[in-house]
Chains A and B, each alone.
Chain A
């Protein structure tokens, strides 16, 4: 299995607080992604990275920012959490962009109260 770990696995936070989720990989994959998964919506791309310090927005990027200072770490930050950001967040990596297997982390269940 690809070495992708997400932390924390579960988090409950209050509306208006900043939250950072971490994705760490040991596979040296170039591409990293943050998705959120909600019932009825499937997996939606938040942000992605195609290299160190190279990131771009996805389909649902409003309210989120990312940073990638090292190949192995991709951070997702909710600047000011809202209840609509309650979701399960998955990090994924690929060796090449699209068309190759995406390896997923275990997911982070975030609840904003």
Chain B
């Protein structure tokens, strides 16, 4: 069974701090996606990384795909309250052809 482990599970920080969220697996994925889910809402795609070692930036968010395509990280610089939400990583190439989701990191950014 392919699993994606996310850490930390919960993160509470002050506005302006930096943070990194990790997504790890023992399996290789053809690509990996990051979603953000705000409370009471559905997940929305932030980015897809495809190539091992790939780095993508989305304003204050930096995403990296591991060289072996087994892990990924999300770094947020100068976090803002609007970054609050559940961050989910999802790997493509599940045994049923679907996306495999991690359990998520619940981020709370306090003003």
Contacts of B31 in A (CB 8 A): 98-99
Q: Are B88 and A102 in contact (CB under 8 A)?
A: no
Contact with A along B73-111 (1 / 0, CB 8 A): 000000000000000101011101111011110000000
Q: Tell me the bound Cα distance from A21 to B93 in angstroms.
A: 27
Segment touching A, from B14-22, B42-50, B56-64: B42-50
**Interface presence of B72 (CB below 8 A):** no
**Interface presence of B30 (CB below 8 A):** yes
Q: Are A97 and B42 in contact (CB under 8 A)?
A: no
Q: Which residue of A has the minimal Cβ distance to B42?
A: A104
- Across the interface, A98 reaches (CB within 8 A) one of B42, B94, B102, B104, namely B94
Which interface residue of A40, A43, A104 has the most chain B CB atoms within 10 A? Answer: A43
Q: Are B88 and A107 in contact (CB under 8 A)?
A: no
Q: Are B96 and A102 in contact (CB under 8 A)?
A: no
Q: Tell me the bound Cα distance from A94 to B31 in angstroms.
A: 14
Contacts of B44 in A (CB 8 A): 104
Which interface residue of B88, B93, B101 has the most chain A CB atoms within 10 A? Answer: B101
Q: Which residue of B has the minimal Cβ distance to A40?
A: B103
How far in angstroms is the closest Cβ of chain B from A63? 18
Q: Are B43 and A104 in contact (CB under 8 A)?
A: yes
- 17-52 of chain A: CB within 8 A of chain B: 31, 33, 35, 40-45, 48, 50
Q: Are A98 and B88 in contact (CB under 8 A)?
A: no
Chain B interface (Cβ < 8 Å from any Cβ of A):
30-31, 33, 35, 41-45, 48, 50, 88, 90, 92-94, 96-99, 101-104
9 of the cross-chain contacts (CB-CB < 8 Å) are A43-B101, A44-B101, A57-B96, A90-B42, A94-B99, A98-B30, A101-B33, A102-B33, A102-B35
